[in-house]
Structure 1
Amino acid sequence: IAGDLTRHYFTKNTLIHNCIIPDMPKKPVILSIETSLDDTCAAVTCGIRVLSNVVSSQTSYHASWGGTVPDIAKRLHKEWLPKVVERALWQAGDPTLNALAITIGPGLAPSLEQGIAYCQFLATQSPLPIIAVNHMEGHLLSSFAQTRSGTRGLPTPLYPALGFLISGGHTQLVLMHGLGDYTLLGETLDDAAGEAYDKVARLLLLGYPGGPILADMATRGTPRYPLPEPMTTRQDLNFSFSGLKTAARQYLERKKPELTREFVQDFAASFQQAVFKHLMKRFHRAIDLYSPKMILLGGGVVNNVALRTLTRSVVTEYGLPVYFPTNKKLITDNAAMIGVSASFKFARGEFTPPDQLDRLPNLNFDKGSSPL
Structure 2
Amino acid sequence: MNETNPAKEPAAGADTSGTPVYILAIETSCDETAVSIICDGTEILANVVSSQIETHQRFGGVVPEVASRKHVESITWILQEALDKAKLHPSQLSAVAVTQGPGLVGALLVGMVAAKAFACAWGLPLIGVHHIAGHIYANALVHRLEYPFLSLVVSGGHTELVYVESEGHFRIIGQTRDDAAGEAYDKVARALKLPYPGGPHIDRLALESEEALTLPRAWLEPDSYDFSFSGLKSAVLSAMNSAAMKGQTLSAGAVARGFQDSVVEVLVEKALRAVKAYGAKQLLLAGGVAANKGLRSRLEARCAEAGVPLLAPPLPLCTDNAAMIGAAAFLKFRRGQFASLDLKADPQLKLEEWSV
Note closer, same or farther for the CA distance 1:71–1:25 as it changes in structure 2 (3 Å cut). farther
CA contact 1:138–1:340 (8 Å) conserved in 2: yes
Equivalent residue letter for 2:344: D
TM-superposition CA deviations, 1:90-142 (whole Å, max 9, x none) = 11112510100000111111111111011111122111000110010011011
Matched, 1:231 2:219: yes
Matched, 1:116 2:112: yes
Give 2:238's aligned residue. 250
Give 2:323's aligned residue. 336
**Aligned match of 1:267 in 251, 255, 270?**
255
Q: Distance in 2 between matches of 1:26 and 1:282?
A: 43
Q: Distance in 1 between matches of 2:33 and 2:214?
A: 40
Give 2:84's aligned residue. 90
Matched, 1:154 2:143: yes
Residue identity over aligned pairs, in percent, reads 39
CA contact 1:35–1:77 (8 Å) conserved in 2: yes
Equivalent residue letter for 2:209: G
**Aligned match of 1:29 in 18, 22, 30?**
22
Give 2:185's aligned residue. 197
Q: Distance in 1 between matches of 2:98 and 2:151?
A: 22
Give 1:9's aligned residue. none
Deviation at 1:227, TM superposition (A): 1.4
Q: Distance in 2 between matches of 1:293 and 1:26?
A: 32
Give 2:129's aligned residue. 133
Larger deviation, residues 197-206 vs 284-293: 284-293
Matched, 1:360 2:346: yes
Give 2:293's aligned residue. 305
Note closer, same or farther for the CA distance 1:232–1:181 as it changes in structure 2 (3 Å cut). closer
Equivalent residue letter for 1:189: R
Q: Distance in 2 between matches of 1:27 and 1:246?
A: 52
TM-superposition CA deviations, 1:205-248 (whole Å, max 9, x none) = 01111111111110011343221111344421111111111111
Give 1:42's aligned residue. 35
CA contact 1:223–1:273 (8 Å) conserved in 2: no
Q: Distance in 2 between matches of 1:334 and 1:365?
A: 18
**Aligned alpha-carbon RMSD (Å):** 1.6
CA contact 2:148–2:166 (8 Å) conserved in 1: yes
Equivalent residue letter for 2:292: N
Number of residue pairs matched by the alignment: 335
Helix, strand or coil at the partner of 1:224: coil
Helix, strand or coil at the partner of 1:76: helix
Helix, strand or coil at the partner of 1:343: helix
Deviation at 1:89, TM superposition (A): 0.7
CA contact 1:187–1:237 (8 Å) conserved in 2: yes
**Aligned match of 1:163 in 151, 155, 180?**
151
Note closer, same or farther for the CA distance 1:278–1:73 as it changes in structure 2 (3 Å cut). same
Q: Distance in 1 between matches of 2:249 and 2:117?
A: 50
Equivalent residue letter for 1:196: A
Equivalent residue letter for 2:326: G
Q: Distance in 2 between matches of 1:129 and 1:352?
A: 7
Q: Distance in 2 between matches of 1:102 and 1:258?
A: 51
Deviation at 1:258, TM superposition (A): 6.0
Equivalent residue letter for 1:194: G
Q: Distance in 1 between matches of 2:300 and 2:257?
A: 20
Q: Distance in 1 between matches of 2:309 and 2:273?
A: 17
CA contact 1:161–1:293 (8 Å) conserved in 2: yes
The unaligned stretches of length 5 or more in structure 1 are 1-23, 146-152
Deviation at 1:64, TM superposition (A): 1.1
Larger deviation, residues 215-224 vs 35-44: 215-224
Q: TM-score, normalised by structure 1?
A: 0.87
Helix, strand or coil at the partner of 1:65: coil
Q: Distance in 2 between matches of 1:297 and 1:121?
A: 34
Note closer, same or farther for the CA distance 1:259–1:124 as it changes in structure 2 (3 Å cut). farther
Deviation at 1:318, TM superposition (A): 2.6
Q: Distance in 1 between matches of 2:275 and 2:186?
A: 28
